[in-house]
Amino acid sequence: MRDAPRSPVEPGDDHVPATPAAPRRPVDTWSVLRVVVCAFGLLSLAYWGYLAWPYPFPAVFFIVGAPLFAAVVWYLFRSPRSPIETDVVGKTVVETALVVAAGATWVSLGHPLVGLVFVVVAAVSGVVAFRRETA
């Protein structure tokens, strides 16, 4: 009888169940756009520090300090793994302030069209990210 049911544990059968892998978030176009928007915002702040301030001392402070400050504020209040619990309104205020600051850097450098396009793209990606978080 070949098709008879087998016992779940037979001698010599060392079956070790595999541990399930941690679920990974899918990588899609919106996730990639979100990373690009965040990186461009940080680079915009650094570029502003480079062009808007005289070089040795104040420029270095703003080239490093402005993006670092924005990244720390984003991590503390907006990041999915933030150590400080913030409600939806607080997250929206923080993200809006960071996006407006990065867009304003382009306006202050004399490129208002770049700033406007950045703010619009960041707003669209922010709305999509918000809808995904609350769904």
More confident residue, 133 or 19: 133
**pLDDT tens column, 32-50:** 999 999 999 999 999 999 9
pLDDT band for position 64 (cuts 50, 70, 90): very high
Determine contact, residues 67/42, Cβ cutoff 8 Å: yes
What is the per-residue pLDDT for 118? 97
The single-letter code of the amino acid at 72 is V
What is the per-residue pLDDT for 105? 97
* pLDDT over 90 percentage in the chain: 63
Q: Is the pLDDT of residue 12 over 90?
A: no
Q: Please state, in angstroms and as integers, the Cα–Cα distance from residue 47 to each residue in 44, 63, 64, following that order.
A: 5, 7, 10
What is the per-residue pLDDT for 18? 62
- Please tell me the pTM assigned to this model: 0.78
Q: Please state, in angstroms and as integers, the Cα–Cα distance from residue 44 to each residue in 14, 71, 119, following that order.
A: 58, 13, 12
Helix/strand/coil for 5: coil
Give the contacts of 85 (CB within 8 A, at least 6 positions apart): none
Mean pLDDT, residues 70-80 taken together: 93
Mean pLDDT, residues 85-114 taken together: 94
What is the per-residue pLDDT for 15? 56
What number of residues does the chain have? Answer: 135
What is the per-residue pLDDT for 32? 92
